[in-house]
């Protein structure tokens, strides 16, 4: 069944990894998808071409969503081109891991900007358009690091915990306009973001995951598209953990 027919969806950081899988799954459901990227235009265009080849509709838009002009430009592109935004997935994210003694203030600010500030900026711009239509689905990609904390990631964990607070506050603010705001909290998923972890750490991490494996990008995409769909219309302010049981 086509769940997202006539829907316009913006996915930040959709050129690679989890964002790419979310963009493909939304498009498969019938949504027109705006594939945002920061640097990797060729990879974003590949995602667009893959969607079009499968009979879907998509376009790419390069913007640093941690910057006000980038986030506003992305949302303006979507509304100018397609007339509305139904779905916003705030997925763009990065890490700059280190123990706090060796982490610079710049490492802290930069991760907060890319992960948390971007989520606030894109949500702010999109909510304006969603309110006019009295319809909206916002899904923020947080992390179990924002729930459990993770040593070596004081910046990343703070940004992801911030996204959880933002999700709940915004859910309360916009609920009367038929806009839901939820978050997905993945555990460990193999992407460019996690590919540099040493082999022994990977093995140790696996032993702690009750389901005994890392998540796939599709595992995260399934949860995200559920929260973006009308099947989840009575769910708001929820943090859906997708981690093989790791954080329980
Ligand atoms: P990834 O493979 O490194 O991909 C990151 C994506 O974000 C790329 O498309 C990148 O664009 C884009 N991006 C980075 N900074 C941006 C910015 N300032 N403006 C716009 N786009 C930007 O990462 P991933 O593993 O798929 O992670 C996606 C999300 O899931 C992140 O929020 C991450 O924190 C979260 N998450 C991941 C895991 C995991 O285990 N992988 C676990 C929990 C949560 P370019 O290609 O142009 O660089």
Asked if residue 13 has its Cβ within 6 Å of ligand 1, the reply is yes
- Probe ligand 1: pick from 17, 184, 224, max atoms within 8 Å of CB? 17
Measured CA to CA, the distance from residue 143 to residue 92 in angstroms comes to 12
φ, ψ of residue 41 in degrees (nearest 5) = -60, -40
**Strand bridging mode 239-242 / 136-141:** unpaired
Q: How many domains does the chain have?
A: 1
Domain limits at 19? Answer: 8-240
> Which tops the pLDDT comparison, 193 or 216?
216
Report if residue 74 sits inside a domain: yes
CATH of the domain at 191: 3.40.50.720
Q: Is 132 in the pocket of ligand 1 (CB under 6 A)?
A: no
Q: Note the pLDDT of residue 182.
A: 99
pLDDT bracket for residue 239 (50, 70, 90)? very high
Q: How confident is the model at residue 1 (pLDDT cuts 50, 70, 90)?
A: low
Asked if residue 248 is part of any domain, the answer here is no
Atom of ligand 1 nearest to the CA of 186: 43
H/E element holding 227? helix 217-228
Residue 143, ligand 1, Cβ within 6 A:
yes
> With bands split at pLDDT 50, 70 and 90, how would you rate the model's confidence at 201?
confident
On whether residue 162 sits in a domain, the answer given is yes
CA terminus-to-terminus distance, the chain: 33
The pLDDT confidence band at residue 199, using thresholds 50, 70 and 90, is confident
Q: Please choose, from the candidates 184, 185, 80, the residue with its C-alpha nearest in 3D space to the C-alpha of residue 137.
A: 184
Q: Among this protein's residues, is 156 annotated catalytic?
A: yes
């Amino acid at each position: 069944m086509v769940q997202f027919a006539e829907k316009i969806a913006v996915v930040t950081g959709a050129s690679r990894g989890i964002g790419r899988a979310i963009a493909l799954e939304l498009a498969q459901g019938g949504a027109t998808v705006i594939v945002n990227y920061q640097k990797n235009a060729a990879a974003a265009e590949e995602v667009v071409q893959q969607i079009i080849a499968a009979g879907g509709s998509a376009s790419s838009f390069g913007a640093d969503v941690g910057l006000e002009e980038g986030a506003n430009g992305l949302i303006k592109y979507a509304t100018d081109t397609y007339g509305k935004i139904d779905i916003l997935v705030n997925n763009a994210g990065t890490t700059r891991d280190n123990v706090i003694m060796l982490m610079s203030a710049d490492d802290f600010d930069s991760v907060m900007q890319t992960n948390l500030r971007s989520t606030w900026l894109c949500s702010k711009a999109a909510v304006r358009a969603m309110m006019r239509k009295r319809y909206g689905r916002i899904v923020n990609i947080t992390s179990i690091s924002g729930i459990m904390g993770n040593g070596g990631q004081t910046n990343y964990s703070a940004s992801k915990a911030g996204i959880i607070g933002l999700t709940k506050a915004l859910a309360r603010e916009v609920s009367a306009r038929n806009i839901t705001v939820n978050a997905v909290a993945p555990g460990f998923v193999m992407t460019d973001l996690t590919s540099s972890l040493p082999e022994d750490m990977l093995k140790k991490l696996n032993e702690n995951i009750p389901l005994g494996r890392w998540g796939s990008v599709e595992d995260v995409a399934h949860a995200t598209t559920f929260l973006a769909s009308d099947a989840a219309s009575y769910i708001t302010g929820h943090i859906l953990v997708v981690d093989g049981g790791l954080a329980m």
